[in-house]
Structure 1
Amino acid sequence: AGYYDGIGAARDVIQNHLLQLMALTAMEEPASFDAESLLTEKLKVFRAVRLPEDLGTHTVRGQYAGGWQGGAQVAGYLEEEGIDPASATDTYAAIKLGIDNRRWAGVPFYLRTGKRLGRRVTEIAV
């Protein structure tokens, strides 16, 4: 709880994992599959990423509350053991990004992650 409570969903999963998956999905085929060639192509994608002009409209952050899941009552994040009851840590985060290049112009990329969702899913849908 200590590590996650200090970081949250956006910084833990979006910043570290989902951006890497987005880059691997959106990059052009590298000249070879060595580390340097992969890095070169991923950097091209990262340099072409465009944040939305209005972050408030294209981003979401939230924190799960107590309730029912799968027929059982579950605690909210603030009631979890070891969590500060005043914590503002996000347990859900989403952002809509664009990639400003010829192949992906106008195609939105939605990066979403969360704890205590109805089902566990990892997917890239194009």
Structure 2
Amino acid sequence: MEKDVVAAIGPQSSTIGDVISHVVNELQVPLISFGAIDPTLAALQYPYFLRMTQSDYYQMFVIADLVEYFEYKEVITIFVDDDYGRKGISLLGDSLSKNLAKISYKAEFTPGASETDISELLT
């Protein structure tokens, strides 16, 4: 496989991207990802990882700018309780603090939660 692969395309998630990045680094094969947006998948650590979307870092600053534009000082977040969701919420908290705003409540639901579970969380 090492000699026949010229590039890998995928994955759709940051968690899998982290795992696969170790492999492509060893093989020195580019990994092109359209969905992995975790900012810890950095070029210095993973030189063969090519991100085709903006990282959460930039996306959370845009959300923080919207919060500032509407002059909100507190927000409530709803997110999936996994590595991806927790990292995004952490970045959002950091971004909001730069604009003197904060997350006042975090509502998390488990990956694969049913519609009923989510409805109960929101009531």
TM-score interval (norm. to shorter): under 0.3
What TM-score do the two structures reach when normalised by structure 2? 0.27
Considering fraction of residues, name the structure with more helix: 2
- Which has the higher relative contact order, 1 or 2, with Cα contacts under 8 A spaced 6 or more apart? 1
What TM-score do the two structures reach when normalised by structure 1? 0.27
